[in-house]
């Protein structure tokens, strides 16, 4: 039962190599053949036409390929800057900043709770000086930058604007995205800080400010990726995400936002896992549902505001630590599904990403995968090449029905905000994770190298392992101390005082105050402590 | 296999927000008869140790996916020792490279589980560990 290292060994289940599953992971029973009659869609609208089943652009990827956006970041500004230059030299077309957990949760690196995590899963960005190092030599007006940041999204966005200000880049030139989707953090990703209601306010502040100041920037990326990776099905991934999307639309409308305007800047983010046609069809269904919801419920008239734009990540929990090179194949298949589903930006995970920060070699293979799909496979040549396939149209319809049913269930709970405050979506996600794991354990879902097709005596580990410099945490703290020593103490306390007062007034947009703090080299932790004084902290509802 | 009457603390030390593994194992241990307390996210090792002692836990399971397992497991075990509870077995689950196992074992971790293992195997390993300790008393 145990291997040489004393760890209990994984067990191989019995897999029938002849068996093909007849049900999709979302539980849709698939007929042996889908015939023309069964599709019932002889007159599907063209790409670029409402409700955009076949894509939001009439010319697909001919106008512009998707953005190759590899999520990366580790250590501090210097290390990550070096990795960005490495990726850009090799043809990456957008940046995607991974931040470490202290930055995401609002703790400075010198906070005792942060020590073990500084620079581990992303770059440590505690203040403007660190971000200036991060983007040193990179033209912020010439490249789009995405930040996977939520609890502290408003602060990191403010810091990005302050960085652009200091570099002399006009704000209206900035393109990119902040994830800024707190609702799914309460469910799956866990980097919440404040209670739900003030968090929703902060998001609305960011979106409304961005619409005016950085009109080409996406101030929110409503994400299903994390609940998906946590264990829910493709249809639930879309349903939970669109339900959250509706909650943001409601909040922004309540705050006086014009849905025809702000909806143009709402973007989405999903995982692509391995069930190829489900993955393609979920995006076709999601585009159609979102356009219909905005038009029918909110009376949106501007076509651009009805367009469902999304980025994806390929890999995640579909990757395995066992037989890790298999992950290259998985990501290749997922990458194709993302393109056939019409993604605007794609991140392909590295084959070792299931267990570590990718090495330069594995990061390069992940990027090359996208380049091979884009430039060798020919699938981007014409828009929605799968459109009109009997199976694809049939499955898109079935998934649409299932997604709408789940959105209805969430609305019956009082909407996404209430369902999350009560811990109901969290419980549904945990149960789904339990079901998925049990199905894998029983061999009902085959995972090659894990529960099937294992080699005798196979080692679950691999060669080259990326290691962070163990002295990193100390170095980051020293850099932070140096910034604190040389900044203007009066400007720090004055800007924090103004922030605190503004936070107490619900009607005030906090962004100008956060930007002022960033310019004064106030740290993320200092801003968060100030806001916590006003708003308190989220208390996790624990239901199992 | 039964863990009936056993009390197990499932904890998330540090800032890691990935709680699926912790929740899945908590559900499975409860199904196997154990009384399970799940701490929720972002708990300091000393808080986890204190709860383990105050609630008279038979075992502690730490779920860590950020790469900080060595620091956080060692710190939790140290805190348990300070409270005179070094006999409470500590398990670690998460993204743990095999090469880190010797160091974790030296630090006092009883066993390590990864996503590649079946739920039943994890539950069985915990069952064996707690059972063995009982007969040894």
Count of domains for chain B: 1
Helix (H) or strand (E) holding A528: helix A524-535
Whether B58 maps to a domain, the answer reads: yes
Domain ranges for chain A: 62-441
Mean pLDDT of all residues in A261-286: 98
A-chain residues within 8 Å CB-CB of B16? Answer: 101, 117, 190
Residues of chain B positioned with their CB less than 8 A from the CB of A433 = 20, 23-24
Give chain B's end-to-end CA distance (angstroms, integer).
21
Long-range CB pairs of B33-36 (<8 Å, 24+ gap) are: B33/B2, B33/B3, B33/B4, B33/B5, B33/B6, B34/B3, B34/B4, B34/B6, B34/B7, B34/B8, B35/B5, B35/B6, B35/B7, B35/B8, B36/A544, B36/B7, B36/B8, B36/B9, B36/B10
Cβ contact A217:A417 at 8 Å: no
Is the pLDDT assigned to residue A42 strictly greater than 90? no
Task: Tell me the pLDDT tens digit for each residue of A380-399.
Answer: 999 999 999 999 999 999 99
Note whether A356 contacts B97, CB cutoff 8 Å: yes
pLDDT of residue B136: 41
Number of C-beta neighbours around residue A487 at 10 A: 17
Chain B positions in Cβ-Cβ contact with residue A354 (cut-off 8 Å): 95
Roughly how many angstroms between the first and final C-alpha of chain A, as a whole number?
30
Are A231 and B16 inside 8 Å of each other by CB? no
B44: CB partners within 8 A, 6+ apart? A112, A113, B13
Which chain A residues are Cβ-neighbours of B67 within 8 angstroms?
120-121, 356-357, 468
Instruction: Find out whether A140 and A169 touch, Cβ atoms under 8 Å.
Output: yes
Express each pLDDT in A501-519 by its tens digit. 999 998 899 999 999 999 9
DSSP assignment letter at B43: B
The token pair at B79 is 């805190």
pLDDT value at position A43? 78
Q: Give the integer Cα–Cα distance in Å for B35 and B39.
A: 13
Nearest to A144, CA basis, from A344, A304, A341, A315: A344
* CA neighbor of A183 nearest in space, from A169, A168, A163, A197: A197
Range in A236-250, A299-313, A444-458 the model is least confident about: A444-458
pLDDT at A4 over 50: no
For A434, the closest of B27, B112, B121 (CB atoms) is: B27
CA distance A327 to chain B (A): 15
Measured between beta carbons, the chain B residues lying within 8 angstroms of A112 are 44
Q: Is B30 inside a domain boundary?
A: yes
HSE on the CB side for B77, CA within 13 Å? Answer: 18
Nearest CA in chain A to B44: A113
Cβ–Cβ gap B15/A433 under 8 Å: no
Question: pLDDT digits over A206-239, tens only?
Answer: 999 999 999 999 999 999 999 999 999 999 999 9
Inter-chain touch A540–B23, beta carbons under 8 Å: no
CB-based contact B80:B108 (threshold 8 Å): no
- Asked whether the predicted pLDDT for residue A11 surpasses 80, the reply is no
With a cut of 70, say whether residue A539 has pLDDT above it: yes
Contact A460 B98 (CB under 8 A): yes
Give me the residue from A120, A322, A441 closest to B68, CB to CB: A120
User: What are phi and psi for residue A256, nearest 5 degrees?
Assistant: 90, 5
Average pLDDT over residues A436-453: 91
Confidence tier at A467 by pLDDT (50, 70, 90): low
Domain interval for residue B118: 7-99+112-136
Q: Is the pLDDT of residue A1 over 80?
A: no
Mutate to test the interface with A, among B34, B66, B67, B107 (most CBs of A within 10 A): B67
Are B14 and A450 a contacting pair at CB < 8 A?
A: no
pLDDT beyond 90 at A102? yes
pLDDT value at position B135?
Answer: 45
Do B98 and A188 make contact, defined as CB atoms within 8 angstroms? no
Query: Are the beta carbons of B96 and B114 closer than 8 angstroms?
Result: yes
Residues from chain A contacting residue B103 (CB–CB below 8 Å): none
Residue B1 scores a pLDDT above 80: no
Nearest CA in chain A to B69: A116
User: Is 70 exceeded by the pLDDT of residue A178?
Assistant: yes
Helix (H) or strand (E) segment spanning residue A499? helix A489-504
Residue A534's H or E segment, with its range, is helix A524-535
Q: Residue A312's pLDDT band (boundaries 50, 70, 90)? A: very high
Of B42, B105, B116, Cβ closest to residue A10: B116
Among B9, B14, B15, B123, the residue to mutate for chain A (most A Cβ within 10 A): B15
Query: Quick one: pLDDT at residue A2?
Result: 44
Contact B97 A354 (CB under 8 A): no
Chain A nearest C-alpha distance from B85 (Å): 23
CB contact under 8 Å between A356 and B67, yes or no, is: yes
- Hey, how many other C-beta atoms are within 10 angstroms of the C-beta on A255? 18
pLDDT band at A98 (very low <50, low <70, confident <90, very high): very high
Residue A80: pLDDT band (50, 70, 90) is: very high
Rounded to whole angstroms, the Cα distance separating B60 from B50 reads 11
Q: Which residue of A has its CA nearest to B124?
A: A8
Query: Distance, in angstroms, between A105 CA and closest chain B CA?
Result: 7
Q: Do B99 and A465 touch (CB under 8 A)?
A: yes
Predicted pLDDT of residue B137: 40
Show Cβ contacts of residue A51 under 8 Å, excluding neighbours closer than 6 positions. Answer: A45, A287, A288, A291, A292, A295, A306
> Half-sphere exposure of residue A332, counting CA atoms within 13 Å on the CB side?
13
pLDDT band at A321 (very low <50, low <70, confident <90, very high): confident
Name the residue among A334, A343, A341, A335 with its Cα closest to residue A387. Answer: A341
Using CA coordinates, name the residue in chain B closest to A10.
B117
**Rounded alpha-carbon distances, angstroms, from residue A518 to A144, A306, A495:** 21, 34, 9
Categorize the per-residue pLDDT at A8 as very low, low, confident or very high, splitting at 50, 70 and 90.
very low
* pTM metric for this prediction: 0.93
Which residues from chain A sit within 8 angstroms of residue B38, using beta carbons? 542, 544
- pLDDT at res. A465: 60
Separation in Å, CA of B49 to nearest CA in chain A: 15
Residue B38 to chain A, least CA–CA distance (Å): 8
State whether A460 and B114 contact (CB < 8 Å). yes
Average pLDDT of the residues in A278-306: 98
Q: What CA dihedral angle connects A96, A102, A103 and A104, to 10 degrees?
A: 70
DSSP reduced 3-state for A8:
strand
**Is residue B105 included in any domain, yes or no?**
no
Nearest CA in chain B to A190: B17
Report the pLDDT averaged over residues A190-215: 97
Q: How many residues does chain B have?
A: 137
Q: Which residues have CB under 8 Å from A470's CB, separation 6+?
A: none
pLDDT-based confidence at residue A461 (cuts at 50, 70, 90): low
pLDDT tens digit sequence for A114-161: 988 999 889 999 999 999 999 999 999 999 999 999 999 999 999 999
Interface with chain A: mutation pick from B23, B25, B76, B109, highest number of A CBs within 10 Å: B23
Categorize the per-residue pLDDT at A15 as very low, low, confident or very high, splitting at 50, 70 and 90.
low
B41, A190: Cβ pair inside 8 Å?
yes
- Residue B104 forms part of a structural domain: no
Q: Which CATH number fits domain A62-441: 3.20.20.240, 3.90.1150.10, 1.10.3720.10, 3.40.50.620?
A: 3.20.20.240
Judge contact between A132 and A142, C-beta under 8 A: no
Judge whether B1 lies within some domain: no
B20·A102 Cβ contact <8 A: no
> Is B66's CB within 8 Å of A101's CB?
yes
Q: Say how many C-beta atoms besides its own lie within 10 A of residue A492's C-beta.
A: 17
The mean pLDDT value of chain A amounts to: 93
- Of A322, A319, A403, A332, nearest in space to A365 by CA: A332
Q: How many Cβ pairs within 8 Å bridge chains A and B?
A: 136
pLDDT of res. A7: 46
Distance of CA A75 to the CA centre of its chain: 21
Nearest to B91 by CA among B130, B55, B41: B130
C-alpha A96/C-alpha A138 separation (Å) is 13
A94-97 and A176-178 beta bridge pairing: unpaired
Summary count for chain B: helices (H), strands (E) = 5, 5
DSSP A500-521: HHHHH-TTS--HHHHHHHHHTT
Q: Which of A8, A104, A317 sits opposite B113 (nearest CB)?
A: A8
Minimum-distance CB partner of A430 among B20, B44, B95? B20
Q: Is B17 in Cβ contact with A355 (below 8 Å)?
A: no
Q: Which residue of B has its CA nearest to A427?
A: B23
Closest to A346 measured CA to CA, from A320, A322, A369: A369
Q: In the predicted model, is pLDDT for residue A46 greater than 80?
A: yes
Nearest neighbour of A116 by CB, restricted to B41, B72, B105: B72
Lowest mean pLDDT among A258-272, A400-414, B61-75: B61-75
Closest Cα in chain A to B125: A8
Interface test with B, best of A13, A15, A115, A190 (most B CBs within 10 A): A190
- pLDDT confidence bin for A5, thresholds 50/70/90: very low
């Amino acid at each position: 039962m145990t291997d040489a290292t004393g760890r209990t060994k994984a067990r191989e289940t019995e897999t029938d190599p002849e068996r093909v599953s007849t049900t999709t992971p979302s539980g849709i029973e698939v007929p042996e053949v889908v015939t023309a009659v069964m599709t019932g869609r002889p007159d599907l609208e063209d790409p670029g036409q409402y409700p955009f089943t076949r894509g939001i652009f009439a010319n697909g990827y001919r106008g512009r390929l998707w953005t190759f956006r590899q999520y990366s970041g580790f250590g501090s500004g210097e290390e990550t800057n070096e990795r960005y230059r490495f990726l850009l030299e090799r043809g990456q077309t957008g940046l995607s900043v991974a931040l470490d957990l202290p930055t995401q949760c609002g703790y400075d690196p010198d906070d005792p709770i942060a020590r073990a995590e500084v620079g581990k899963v992303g770059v440590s960005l505690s203040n403007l000086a660190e971000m200036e190092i991060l983007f040193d030599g990179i033209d912020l007006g010439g490249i789009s930058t995405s930040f996977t940041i939520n609890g502290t999204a408003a602060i990191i966005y403010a810091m990005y604007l302050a960085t652009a200000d200091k570099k002399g880049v006009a704000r209206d030139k900035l393109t990119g995205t902040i994830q800024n989707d707190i609702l799914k953090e309460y469910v799956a990703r866990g980097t919440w800080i404040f209670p739900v209601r003030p968090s929703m306010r902060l998001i609305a502040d960011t979106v409304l400010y961005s619409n005016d100041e950085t009109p080409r920037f996406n101030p929110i990326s409503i994400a299903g990726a994390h609940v998906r990776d946590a264990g829910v099905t493709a249809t639930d991934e879309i349903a939970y995400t669109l339900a959250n999307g509706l909650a943001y639309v409601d909040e922004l409308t309540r705050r006086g936002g014009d849905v025809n305007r702000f909806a143009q800047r709402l973007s989405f983010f999903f995982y692509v896992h391995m069930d190829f046609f489900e993955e393609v069809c979920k995006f076709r269904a999601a585009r159609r549902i979102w356009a219909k919801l905005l038009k029918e419920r909110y009376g949106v008239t501007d076509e651009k505001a009805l367009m469902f734009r999304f980025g994806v990540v390929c890999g995640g929990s579909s990757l395995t630590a066992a037989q890790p090179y298999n992950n290259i194949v998985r990501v290749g298949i997922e990458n194709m599904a993302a393109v056939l589903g019409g993604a605007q930006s794609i991140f392909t995970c590295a084959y070792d990403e299931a267990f570590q920060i990718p090495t330069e070699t594995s990061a390069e293979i992940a990027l090359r995968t996208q380049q091979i799909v884009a430039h060798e496979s020919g699938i981007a040549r014409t828009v929605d090449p799968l459109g009109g396939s009997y199976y694809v149209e049939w499955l898109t319809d079935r998934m649409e029905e299932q997604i709408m049913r789940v959105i209805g269930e969430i609305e019956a709970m009082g909407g996404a905000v209430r369902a999350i405050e009560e811990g109901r979506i969290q419980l549904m996600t945990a149960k789904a994770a339990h079901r998925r794991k049990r199905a894998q354990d029983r061999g009902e879902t085959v995972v090659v190298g894990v529960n099937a097709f294992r080699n005798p005596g196979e080692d679950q580990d691999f060669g080259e392992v990326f290691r962070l410099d163990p002295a990193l945490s100390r170095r980051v703290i020293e850099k932070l101390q140096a910034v604190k020593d040389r900044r203007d103490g009066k400007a720090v306390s004055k800007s924090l005082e103004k922030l605190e007062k503004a936070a107490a007034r619900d009607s005030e947009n906090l962004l100008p105050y956060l930007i002022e703090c960033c310019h004064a080299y106030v740290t993320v932790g200092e801003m968060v402590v100030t806001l916590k004084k006003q708003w308190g902290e989220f208390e996790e509802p624990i239901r199992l | 296999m039964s863990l009936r009457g056993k009390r197990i603390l499932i904890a998330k030390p540090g800032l890691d927000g990935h709680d699926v593994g912790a929740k899945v194992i908590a559900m499975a241990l409860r199904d196997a008869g154990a009384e399970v307390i799940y701490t929720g996210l972002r708990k300091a090792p000393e808080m986890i140790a204190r709860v383990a002692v105050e609630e008279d836990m038979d075992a502690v399971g730490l779920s860590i996916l950020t790469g900080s397992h060595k620091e956080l497991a060692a710190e939790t075990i140290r805190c348990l020792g300070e409270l005179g509870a070094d006999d409470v077995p500590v398990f670690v689950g998460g993204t743990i490279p095999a090469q880190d196992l010797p160091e974790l074992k030296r630090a006092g971790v009883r066993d390590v589980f990864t996503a590649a293992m079946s739920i039943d195997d994890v539950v069985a390993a915990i069952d064996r560990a707690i059972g063995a300790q009982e007969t040894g008393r």
